[in-house]
Amino acid sequence: MFQKRFVALLMLLVLALPVLAACGGADATSTPESSNTGATEPTKAAEPTAAPTEAAAAPTEATEPTAEATAEATSEPSTGGNASDLRIGLVTDVGKVTDGTFNQYAYEGLKRAEKELGVKVDFIETVNPADYEKNIDQFASQGYDLVIGVGFLMGDAIKASAAKYPDINFAIVDSTYEETIPNVKGLVFSEDQAAFIVGALAASMSKTGQIGVVGGVEIPPVQKYVMGYEAGAKYVNPDIKVAKVYVPSFTDPAQGAEAAKNQIAEGADVIFGAGGQTGSGGIQSAADEGVYVLGVDQDEYYTTFKGGPAPKLLSSALKRVDNAVFDTIKELVDGKFQGGQYLGTAANGGVDYAPFHDTESEVPADVKAKLDEIKKGLADGTIETGVKLP
Amino acid sequence: MADPHDAKDHRDPDQHPQDVVEQPAAPSDPTVPATKGVLRSIRWGELLVPILAIFTAILVGAVIVFLSAPAEKGSRLHVTWEAFKGLFIGAFGNWAEPSTIPNALSGTLVESTPYILAGLAVALGFKAGLFNIGAEGQLLIGALTAVSIGVWLPGWIGVESLPAIIHLPLAVLGGFVGGGLWGAIPGYLRAKTGAHEVITTIMLNYIALRLIDYMIVSGPMKDPAGSAPRTPFVQGPAILPQFVGVVRDPSLTGGNTYQPLIATTSSTWDLRVHAGLLIALLAVVFVWWLLNRTPKGFEIKTVGANPQAARYAGMSIVSTTVLTMTLSGGLAGLAGAGQVLGLEHNMKSVFSGGLGFDSIAIALLAKSNPIAIIPAALFWGALRQGAGAMQIRSGISINLINIIQALVIIFVAADQIVRWIYRIRREQGGQMVFTRGWGK
């Protein structure tokens, strides 16, 4: 009798094993970051990009001592006292904090703030787009000091919550509002600067004098990527030909692949994918065709190419959402939080380019130096991308 | 609970066709003393299995949390405890801080409302032996028609606005009709051509999804003022009002004023629960009444249990099938209408997120009993409402909720497992038939 029941329970546990394995897997990727004490490299996806960022952004953040921040916070009554009393809530877009997209970047910024600034952080992973407002409310109703939403699509929900909770601060990644809302900060990025750098890289590596870009839906951030890419390419090689295409979807890898193939057929030998999964599909197929490719938003070495080998991925144009999130939290700690806009640029470490990974040996040293020079130029304003949206 | 004779319908139709045909006396005759005791025990048995299934699923869920707990939040036992405490607090409020209770309970009710309606839709289909996987599509179309009427109807007939007493019922009715038509198509195809409703409803789901994509992402219904793809906000008179709430600044809702039934300024009492809940409860009463107190309901159940017997008895299988699928689609459409008119006040291109599919699970959990849909939907809603707080408190993946939901369904569907673990004997006639086989 007893044995039978025991066997039944045992079988249940066996049934649950695959599930456990899945959970454990997710866990494994998140555990190292809690034990890792490195300031700028909380997880492996961000690690390789940390080096160039630090070079650019060292004076502005990351190395600033925590004690100072805390002291400032205590002297600033508007934040409600000690930094360790501050509670920050992060609501991801549909996805997970380990999914290699801006969700993960935002989470890394959050964890860095926890470590360096001593704030209390919590997060909710959105499962369903209908849950945005509900998830934000979970934090706001409990009086969190700052609630961060990730993604353009959460724009309405953040706006509504900001009106409902005027005493709580909000931030939203990738979106901003025409009229400044006093308790909301929109975190947006100079996509054109990130694209300018990889555009210069593409033009330097091209042998045919033709390069291509596969864009997603023709909305401002994508346009800025595409135009910045062209500007960067022309900066190093005024005669370069840039094939541009906008695919009206962010989730159509097949169409992205088709577009990339067409560009290669016309002679392009470096392809930049700037349109979510559509762009990723484009660079994946282009890499299979044997031409160099460039990723976007995150270091696609870890996402699209699953950590390598990626012998054709030169680099990626990065939006450092983690730095933006960290800086926003730091402003709150310092009592300087204001509604409005944070613009991530090369100067403040908000945009960057990813390491070369498997193509490290193929990119000549003078090209590397040139890229560094361009990044510095963008940062100090001596180089302008010249991208202006119509 | 439902009419005690309801249980009789669960008999295996192929073995007892005569019993089914003999049943006409039952719905109108509540006193059959000889069988009463037996029936009561069957009811209890039926109730016991889902409850034990939920209990077992939560237990297994706890083991999973224990084994996968992230190290940073304390000991494994502590995390497990916090996870379930968070789940409870999220769904029912922190009872140590009474001010959190109304908001949490309201959230649970809000989450449950569409599940009640869509669960009823699927349950009604089951009763007629139809597996309506199309609740998702019907829900989307219902939301689309409801939001269209809510936004544009006054413009179509050339007036500024309509009084709520006309506009709101029309918008709700629009949801019912839209979903109903979407359900009638597979019903008609099934009845006339024998095309299996599982196939046709799945295909119609895709069509509905793409239609919504077209209409809202790039097509004529997109609000040019919206940042993300969505329709304009419905007009003030067309909303299903919050029972208690704070009046929003019209600039947040496209210039429309949404008046709650009781206006307040306290954020504790700004509750999202809306009048759609009443529609859901009325729908439960209606379906129960239809199935247990009307000849049509009896026809539905008979066709579901044994179509041959129904045909011999002179019932029209064609009209019953079409009617059931229309009603089923209409109920799912109401679920969609409730979401857009009561909760979101506009329709986004990413709208339902599987409400229609979860409703199949709810109908299963409730064993297609219309009354039992309510606790099943509340359970589902509480899990969804509590998930966020669970993750905040424990740091474990929010997907645990999906795992628990899936385990509940496994244990309910394969109730042998539960009966075996807990040594429950199978009651006579305790089995029910969800659908007929393929291609009959």
User: Per residue in A363-376, pLDDT tens?
Assistant: 889 999 999 999 99
- The pLDDT of residue A83: 63
Contact B103 A141 (CB under 8 A): yes
Separation CA A19–CA B322 (nearest Å): 41
User: Is the Cβ of A17 closer than 8 Å to some Cβ of chain B?
Assistant: no
DSSP-derived letter for residue B231 is P
pLDDT by residue (tens digit) across B124-142? 999 999 999 999 999 999 9
What is the distance in angstroms between the Cα of A28 and the nearest Cα belonging to chain B? 9
Fold equal for A41-189+322-344 and A191-318+354-380: yes
Is the pLDDT at B28 greater than 80? The verdict is no
More confident residue, A304 or A257: A257
Q: Which of A127, A172, A218 to mutate to test the interface with B (most CBs of B within 10 A)?
A: A127
- The pLDDT of residue B124: 96
Model confidence band, residue A243 (pLDDT cutoffs 50, 70, 90): very high
What is the rounded average pLDDT for all residues in chain B?
A: 85
Model confidence band, residue A260 (pLDDT cutoffs 50, 70, 90): very high
Taking one residue from A and the other from B, the number of pairs with CB-CB distance under 8 angstroms is 109
Token readout for B51 is 């409850």
pLDDT by residue (tens digit) across B37-91? 444 544 666 778 888 888 999 999 899 888 888 777 778 889 899 899 999 999 9
% of chain B surpassing 70 pLDDT: 86
Shortest CB distance from B267 goes to which of A13, A138, A164? A164
Is the pLDDT at B325 greater than 90? The verdict is yes
What is the distance in angstroms between the Cα of A94 and the nearest Cα belonging to chain B? 11
Residues of B in contact with A163 (CB under 8 A): 248-249, 252
Separation CA A49–CA A104 (nearest Å): 14
Nearest Cα residue to A217 out of A209, A226, A229, A208: A226
Residues of B in contact with A159 (CB under 8 A): 252
What is the distance in angstroms between the Cα of A123 and the nearest Cα belonging to chain B? 6
Model confidence band, residue A333 (pLDDT cutoffs 50, 70, 90): very high
Highest mean pLDDT among A16-25, A30-39, B91-100: B91-100
% of chain B surpassing 90 pLDDT: 54
pLDDT by residue (tens digit) across A29-63? 333 333 333 333 333 443 444 334 333 333 333 33
Q: Which chain B residue is nearest to residue A122, measuring alpha carbons?
A: B392
Nearest Cα residue to A270 out of A255, A257, A286, A256: A286
| Secondary element (H or E) of residue A52 | helix A47-57
Q: How much is the average pLDDT of A187-216?
A: 92
- Tell me if ipTM is over 0.90: no
Token readout for A70 is 């805390």
More confident residue, B264 or A78: B264
Residues of B in contact with A88 (CB under 8 A): none
What is the distance in angstroms between the Cα of B351 and the nearest Cα belonging to chain A? 6
Model confidence band, residue A259 (pLDDT cutoffs 50, 70, 90): very high
What is the distance in angstroms between the Cα of A329 and the nearest Cα belonging to chain B? 18
Least confident range of A209-213, A302-306, A326-330:
A302-306
Q: How much is the average pLDDT of B242-251?
A: 88
Domain boundary assignment for chain A: 41-189+322-344, 191-318+354-380
Nearest Cα residue to A94 out of B114, B103, B349, B108: B349
User: Is the Cβ of A21 closer than 8 Å to some Cβ of chain B?
Assistant: no
Model confidence band, residue A242 (pLDDT cutoffs 50, 70, 90): very high
Shortest CB distance from B107 goes to which of A4, A34, A134? A134
CATH entry 3.40.50.2300 includes domain A191-318+354-380? yes
What is the distance in angstroms between the Cα of B252 and the nearest Cα belonging to chain A? 6
Q: Burial level of A28, CB count in 10 A (0-12/13-18/19+)?
A: exposed
Shortest CB distance from B420 goes to which of A8, A128, A164? A8
Question: Which CATH code of 3.40.50.620, 3.40.50.2300, 3.30.70.580, 3.40.50.1970 fits the domain covering A41-189+322-344?
Answer: 3.40.50.2300
User: Is the Cβ of A156 closer than 8 Å to some Cβ of chain B?
Assistant: yes
The structure's pTM equals 0.76
Q: Which chain A residue is nearest to residue B254, measuring alpha carbons?
A: A156
Q: Which chain A residue is nearest to residue B384, measuring alpha carbons?
A: A131
% of chain A surpassing 90 pLDDT: 40
Q: Burial level of B47, CB count in 10 A (0-12/13-18/19+)?
A: middle
Q: Which chain A residue is nearest to residue B351, measuring alpha carbons?
A: A130
- The pLDDT of residue B424: 76
What is the rounded average pLDDT for all residues in chain A?
A: 79
- The pLDDT of residue A70: 39
Residue partners of B365: CB distance under 8 A and separation at least 6: B50, B53, B372, B376, B379, B380, B408, B409, B412
- The pLDDT of residue A85: 84
Separation CA B34–CA B18 (nearest Å): 19
